[in-house]
């Protein structure tokens, strides 16, 4: 049974780009006669608000995008994430880390490596158990031991993780080298997106992840984590991104406008723009529901 999801972070109202992801995941679920869930990804508590959650759910509803079961909130699922971290620690696949950002930067500088990835430093492994652990310091964050995860599956530490995207085709990443031992629980006590998303996709029985192309780069990391936890890997489809007038991807960070509000006609127009971005035909419809129905078949032809 197909189960899909839309997983917005409630840092602000939906914008044109997030509606594309919502529409694509909804259409894919309907095209497969599956279920469509909404998961509110509010693990980053200081950046998220109950008001934004409320607004997003109301916006989805106004656009005819109604989840088949009530939405779940990640902020209420700490126990599940803790259980997953405990499992990884017990298996020797995760470890506590005492290093601050500054210390990590210093170690990398002495090694002549300033390797940065989207502003993230590739962790040099100072606190790995085989390097002496915390060295008597206090744990701040918890990290996945990527090399140990790969080796447990009989792969070399530098192995490529391969996966197939339903739109983009074959993908691969050398996770240990490109990303390194990524954080599962942050120094501020918050759960990292990677852990929460992997635990929840499995707990909710998600078979198909349909989301924006900006998240493609996270997939190999999530697959390594799924395997480490003994969880299944869903199928993935990363959709095109909607670019703003400046050619940059729309996001709350670059102040993408919230979706224009209004009645049914405005919602149909918003959906129309999202559908065209996905390569679907323009339709004429009096209600969002009527418009949505007309895109199921064209979506099936493209991605079914
Ligand atoms: N919460 C993430 C975001 O809003 C999406 C996560 C996902 O779909 O895997 O960017």
Region of residue 296 (phi > 0: left; psi between -120 and 50: alpha; otherwise: beta): alpha
For the CA of 21, the closest atom of ligand 1 is: 8
Amino acid 120: pLDDT: 72
pTM > 0.85? yes
Ligand 1 center to 112 CA (angstroms)? 34
- With pLDDT > 90 as the criterion, what percentage of the chain qualifies? 87
For 38-46, what is the mean pLDDT? 96
Is 9 known as a binding-site position? Answer: yes
Amino acid 247: pLDDT: 66
Ligand 1 center to 152 CA (angstroms)? 28
Q: How far is CA 200 from the centre of its chain?
A: 11
For the CA of 211, the closest atom of ligand 1 is: 8
Spatial separation of the C-alpha atoms in residues 298 and 28, rounded to whole Å = 11
Give yes or no for residue 159 having a pLDDT over 60: yes
Amino acid 256: pLDDT: 73
Strand partners, 121: 116
**Does any ligand 1 atom lie closer than 6 A to the CB of residue 206?**
no
Least confident of 34-38, 256-260, 261-265, 276-280: 256-260
Is 149 known as a binding-site position? Answer: no
pLDDT tens, residue by residue, 83-136:
999 999 999 999 999 999 999 989 988 887 765 656 678 999 999 999 999 999
Average pLDDT score over the chain: 94
Amino acid 263: pLDDT: 93
Amino acid 112: pLDDT: 77
Amino acid 69: pLDDT: 97
Grade residue 249 by pLDDT with cuts at 50, 70 and 90: low
Spatial separation of the C-alpha atoms in residues 61 and 79, rounded to whole Å = 30
Amino acid 167: pLDDT: 97
Strand, helix or coil for residue 43: coil
Grade residue 234 by pLDDT with cuts at 50, 70 and 90: very high
How distant, in Å, are the alpha carbons of 110, 116, 188 from that of 107? Answer: 5, 13, 22
List, in order of start, the domains of the chain with CATH numbers: 3-74+208-216+233-303 (3.40.50.620), 78-185 (3.90.800.10)
Strand partners, 22: none
Half-sphere exposure of 99 (CA within 13 A, CB side): 23
Give yes or no for residue 252 having a pLDDT over 60: no
Ligand 1 center to 157 CA (angstroms)? 28
Strand partners, 258: 15
Grade residue 230 by pLDDT with cuts at 50, 70 and 90: very high
Strand, helix or coil for residue 44: coil
């Amino acid at each position: 049974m197909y189960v899909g999801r839309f997983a917005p972070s409630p840092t602000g109202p939906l914008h044109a780009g997030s509606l594309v992801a919502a529409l694509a995941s909804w259409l894919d679920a309907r095209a497969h006669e599956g279920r469509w869930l909404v998961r509110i990804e509010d693990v980053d508590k200081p950046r998220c608000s109950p008001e934004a959650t409320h607004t997003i759910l109301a916006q989805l509803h106004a656009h005819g995008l109604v989840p088949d079961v009530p939405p779940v909130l990640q902020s209420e699922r700490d126990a599940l994430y803790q259980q997953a971290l405990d499992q990884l620690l017990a298996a020797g696949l995760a470890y506590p880390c005492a290093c601050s950002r500054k210390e990590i930067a210093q170690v990398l500088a002495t090694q002549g490596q300033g390797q940065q990835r989207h502003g993230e430093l590739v962790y040099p492994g100072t606190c790995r158990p085989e390097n002496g652990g915390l060295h008597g310091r206090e744990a701040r964050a918890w990290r996945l031991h990527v090399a140990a995860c790969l080796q447990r599956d009989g792969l070399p530490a530098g192995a490529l993780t391969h996966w197939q995207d339903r739109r983009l085709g074959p993908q691969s990443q050398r996770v240990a080298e490109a990303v390194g031992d990524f954080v599962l629980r942050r120094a501020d006590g918050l759960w990292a997106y990677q852990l929460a998303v992997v635990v929840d996709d499995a707990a909710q029985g998600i078979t198909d992840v349909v989301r924006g192309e900006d998240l493609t780069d996270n997939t190999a990391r999530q697959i390594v984590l799924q395997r480490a936890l003994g969880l299944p890997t869903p199928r993935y489809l990363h959709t095109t991104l909607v670019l703003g007038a400046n050619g940059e991807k729309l996001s709350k960070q670059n102040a993408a406008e919230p979706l224009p509000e209004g009645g049914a006609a405005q919602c149909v127009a918003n959906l129309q723009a999202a559908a065209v971005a996905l390569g679907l035909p323009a339709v004429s419809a009096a209600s969002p529901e009527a418009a949505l129905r007309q895109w199921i078949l064209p979506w099936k032809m493209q991605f079914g």
